[in-house]
Amino acid sequence: MITLAGAVLVCLGYNLLYFELPLPNGSTAQILDLMDYISNNVLMPLVAIGTCLLIGWAVKPKLIIDEVEKTGCVMGRKAMYIAMIKYIAPVMLAVLFIKSIGV
């Protein structure tokens, strides 16, 4: 039911409920474009930052490394993986997020 209501809202967004809204990236959006912008430029970076924080600091990267090596495969560049997941990726994703919301 919620999906049907959302679909009707999107369909009417190009007819009866048509509006134009400027986005922080400089483009103009209708309702579907606004939903796409929120999904791609706000929610995805936030979830990726949360994943990096969860794996890098709460769960610890060793758990992932052990899981990869469980079948006998050797995970190369473990130190690089740990540095990326703990420090580099969260910072770069934060920069991406800040730029995407127009700051």
Please classify residue 45 by burial: count the beta carbons closer than 10 Å to its beta carbon, then call 0-12 exposed, 13-18 middle and 19+ buried.
Answer: buried
Rounded Cα gap, residues 78 and 44, in angstroms? 26
Task: Count Cα atoms within 13 angstroms, Cβ side, for 36.
Answer: 10
- Give pLDDT tens digits for 66-95: 999 998 899 999 999 999 999 999 999 999
Q: How confident is the model at residue 39 (pLDDT cuts 50, 70, 90)?
A: very high
| Residue 52, strand partner residues | none
- The domain tally of the chain equals 1
Residue 89 has a pLDDT of 97
User: How much is the pTM?
Assistant: 0.80
Residue 15 has a pLDDT of 85
Full residue range of the structural domain in which residue 94 is found: 2-100
| Contact (CB, 8 A) for 28 and 22 | yes
For residue 18, report the phi and psi dihedrals to the nearest 5 degrees.
-65, 135
Residue 6 pLDDT > 90: no
